[in-house]
Amino acid sequence: MPIENAFYTPEAQGPYQLHSLGRFELEDGGVIDELQLAVATRGTLNDDKSNAILIPTWFSGTHQTWDQVYIGPGRALDPEKYFLVIVNQIGNGLSTSPHNTDDSSIAMSKFPTVRIGDDVRAQEQLLREVFGIERLALVVGGSMGAQQTWEWAVRFPEKVLRAAPIAGTAQNTPHDFLFTQTLLEAITSDPGWNDGEYTSHLQVQDGLGRHADIWATMGLSTDFWKSGFWQAIPMLDGTTTDDFRQFQAGFLRALFQLMDPNALLTMGWKWQHGDVARHTDGDLAAALGRITATTFVMPIDRDMFFPVSDCAAEAELTPGAQLRVLPSIAGHFGLFGFNPEYIDEVDRNLSELLATRV
Amino acid sequence: MPIENAFYTPEAQGPYQLHSLGRFELEDGGVIDELQLAVATRGTLNDDKSNAILIPTWFSGTHQTWDQVYIGPGRALDPEKYFLVIVNQIGNGLSTSPHNTDDSSIAMSKFPTVRIGDDVRAQEQLLREVFGIERLALVVGGSMGAQQTWEWAVRFPEKVLRAAPIAGTAQNTPHDFLFTQTLLEAITSDPGWNDGEYTSHLQVQDGLGRHADIWATMGLSTDFWKSGFWQAIPMLDGTTTDDFRQFQAGFLRALFQLMDPNALLTMGWKWQHGDVARHTDGDLAAALGRITATTFVMPIDRDMFFPVSDCAAEAELTPGAQLRVLPSIAGHFGLFGFNPEYIDEVDRNLSELLATRV
């Protein structure tokens, strides 16, 4: 029986549709008998199906942030011009996930390992079967969404005209692997996690809290905290505070403590093992060399775990790619659009990218 | 009864002497009835006592790394010219600490909170009473040793002629506080820690391992891991490896799992609360404005939690201070002297600093 969790509902995340892809075989050998993807679309697909943009989601995220922060009339991602398809990644709590499946063979601790490539194959099937889309004007995503964007560009080069990986890499680095490991350990070390067989995410509040505390260090930046930038950001209860420890408790801790532990573990493992060089026997240059999309590589200047240097190294290996560094005092969590300069720079770059002839 | 731990012995750490300072009242209200400092000296104090250099230790460290990596004939810290006094910080496992005291009123979970200022006052008393030293040619320390160096320069300006804080700040930042919190939580979340009343550090191996894993992310750098730099570094068993996960297990995990959990917690709390502005009602500029020492502020270029920007901001507030950035692919753990460019640059800067007339 699925576990109730109010965070993973249309009321909390905004409306979405579930599309079933039927039986789906995973790259690591597992099977999901009826894979469902939670999908939100904006705009209208044009007659020649040339205006489709795919947006995969990041770790712990859903379609909601993209809908609220990145999409709008007059913006680069303009629903009056484009058909925007935001696909929640497998295991994120909305698409088929450990806590929400009614298939007892894959529920909770039995959920199979899922790879970035599984998401990309599922998205390709969804776009083709449900919408008849064979080519994408753009794939754009942040963090794990960037990992999926890179995977799209390498795996289906003929289907991706433009790619914008924001704050994420094509091949996960050892440093990032070790960072992700600390996030996973914060959860699995909680006795309430019970090897994945808890009956409510409330039993794992300590572990989720520690998980959130690690995010507070690596997800943001020293300047974010020192400047007091956070004092203007409402916590989950709608109030603000001038005590940074209270902000951490009322914002990141409160947010992650709403989430499902096994969902975070599924996504975390997937993130750790992201690697487009799986297509080319470990040769990253060969994998990125396959890319034919016009690509803007867009790291965030203060990102501590997808740092500019790692993203720039991949841009160097990608034919014709341009490096566009985004500014945010919030580091990796700049993705949430805390500062208008970030949003402006994303829009400027995506508009330029979408205007390129391919 | 003290707990046995072979890591905190002269056999493991090299020789040192214990000096008792008698009853020592701590800033936060606790008392250590007989405070013992573990001290290693090199060289000879000259007749006018003008050649003394104080070296306080960092988190989890002892006198040993300074002795092995930073001191030597012909080096800046030359025992043939200077009298070098390396003082192990309170609670580090060699000086009076939760696990090694035979005073049951302060043993283990009852150990009082200790501040950076307590260490500095204890060191001042030691130098005066034991060695008759009233002025220091130089105070130099890394990380928490830098915190103590800053505290010395602010608290006893007339006693410090030169100061070299390496990879550490005068006032801990919120970001660094939150980072340290994750290190503490990794230990206290281990049921084997038992609220500080374990009977062997072996009962806390899981927590110490997670603690080490967080260090692997924040203590090093993405380039350290990606470059394979670590492949040349022997693990604790003397071997090397080309698997980064094995290196993490055999090096940092193996190292921290030798240590005493309560010692790490005592030092961690102290680190979190380091702040020279306690002398000036929270006014950092006023506190640093007191400094009369010739000061070289020496952050490490890839340091993730005492980043150059935070150290540079404090250098700006320190009269006459110069910023000297040290290069290390190992980030904060560059302090261990993994790369010769780092060592050379430390020596060059300390030689120049020691040659300045004051």
**B325 vs B304: CA distance, rounded Å:** 14
B20 touches chain A (CB under 8 A): no
pLDDT tens by residue, A309-343: 999 999 999 999 999 999 999 999 999 999 999 99
Tell me if A214 and B213 make a contact (CB, 8 A cut-off).
Answer: no
Q: Which domains does chain B have, with CATH numbers?
A: 10-172+274-355 (3.40.50.1820), 178-264 (1.10.1740)
Q: H or E element: which one contains A357?
A: none
Six token digits for residue A39: 């999908």
Six token digits for residue B311: 């150290």
| Per-residue model confidence (pLDDT) at position B80 | 98
AA identity, residue A213: D
Q: In the A/B pair of chains, how many CB contacts fall below 8 A?
A: 92
Q: Which of B210, B343, B238, B247 is nearest to A174 (CA)?
A: B247
- Closest CA–CA distance from residue B357 to any residue of chain A (Å): 36
As beta bridge partners, residue B173 has none
B181 touches chain A (CB under 8 A): yes
AA identity, residue B143: S
Q: In sequence order, what are the residues at sequence separation of 6 or more whose Cβ sits closer than 8 angstroms to the Cβ of residue B202?
A: none
Which among A19, A99, A211, A332 is annotated as catalytic?
A332
AA identity, residue B79: P
pLDDT tens by residue, A158-216: 999 999 999 999 999 999 999 999 999 999 999 999 999 999 999 999 999 999 999 99
pLDDT tens by residue, B87-134: 999 999 999 999 999 999 999 999 999 999 999 999 999 999 999 999
pLDDT at B235 over 90: yes
Nearest-by-Cβ selection for B226 from A175, A214, A218? A175
A185 touches chain B (CB under 8 A): yes
Burial of B79 (0-12, 13-18, 19+ CB in 10 A): middle
Tell me if B179 and A206 make a contact (CB, 8 A cut-off).
Answer: no
pLDDT at A358 over 90: no
* Mean of all residue pLDDT scores within chain A: 98
pLDDT tens by residue, B187-211: 999 999 999 999 999 999 999 999 9
Nearest-by-Cβ selection for B178 from A182, A225, A307? A225
pLDDT at A20 over 90: yes
| Per-residue model confidence (pLDDT) at position A260 | 98
Q: What is the mean pLDDT of residues A131-158?
A: 98
pLDDT at B136 over 90: yes
**B273 vs B217: CA distance, rounded Å:** 22
| Per-residue model confidence (pLDDT) at position B358 | 86
A303 touches chain B (CB under 8 A): no
Nearest-by-Cβ selection for B217 from A218, A220, A248? A218
pLDDT tens by residue, B161-180: 999 999 999 999 999 999 99
- Closest CA–CA distance from residue A113 to any residue of chain B (Å): 20
| Per-residue model confidence (pLDDT) at position B1 | 81
Q: What is the mean pLDDT of residues B35-53?
A: 98
Tell me if A173 and B222 make a contact (CB, 8 A cut-off).
Answer: yes
Tell me if A179 and B217 make a contact (CB, 8 A cut-off).
Answer: yes
Q: What is the mean pLDDT of residues B266-277?
A: 98
DSSP string, B134-166: --BSEEEEETHHHHHHHHHHHH-GGGBSEEEEE
Residue A116's pLDDT band (boundaries 50, 70, 90)? very high
In a mutagenesis test of the A interface, which of B169, B182, B247, B308 is the best target, namely the one with the most A β-carbons within 10 Å?
Answer: B182
pLDDT tens by residue, A225-252: 999 999 999 999 999 999 999 999 999 9
pLDDT at A85 over 90: yes
As beta bridge partners, residue A275 has A171
Six token digits for residue A145: 């969404």
Q: Which of residues 236-275 of A touch B (CB under 8 A)?
A: 244-245, 248
B-chain CB neighbours of A178 within 8 Å are 213, 216-217, 225, 244, 248
Six token digits for residue A175: 């440093």
- Closest CA–CA distance from residue A318 to any residue of chain B (Å): 19
pLDDT tens by residue, B251-270: 999 999 999 999 999 999 99
Closest chain B CA to residue A306 = B222
Tell me if A217 and B182 make a contact (CB, 8 A cut-off).
Answer: yes
Q: Which of B97, B93, B122 is nearest to B108 (CA)?
A: B97
Tell me if B174 and A307 make a contact (CB, 8 A cut-off).
Answer: no
- CA B246-B181-B112 angle, to 5 degrees, is 115
Report the share of chain A in percent with pLDDT over 90. 99
C-beta of residue B159 within 8 angstroms of C-beta of residue B136? yes
Nearest-by-Cβ selection for B222 from A175, A210, A222? A175
Q: What is the mean pLDDT of residues B290-306?
A: 98
Which among B97, B143, B221, B328 is annotated as catalytic?
B143
> C-alpha B324: how far from its chain's center?
19
C-beta of residue B120 within 8 angstroms of C-beta of residue B148? yes
Q: What is the value of ipTM here, to two decimals?
A: 0.96
Which among A143, A190, A211, A221 is annotated as catalytic?
A143
**B96 vs B106: CA distance, rounded Å:** 10
Tell me if B190 and A185 make a contact (CB, 8 A cut-off).
Answer: no
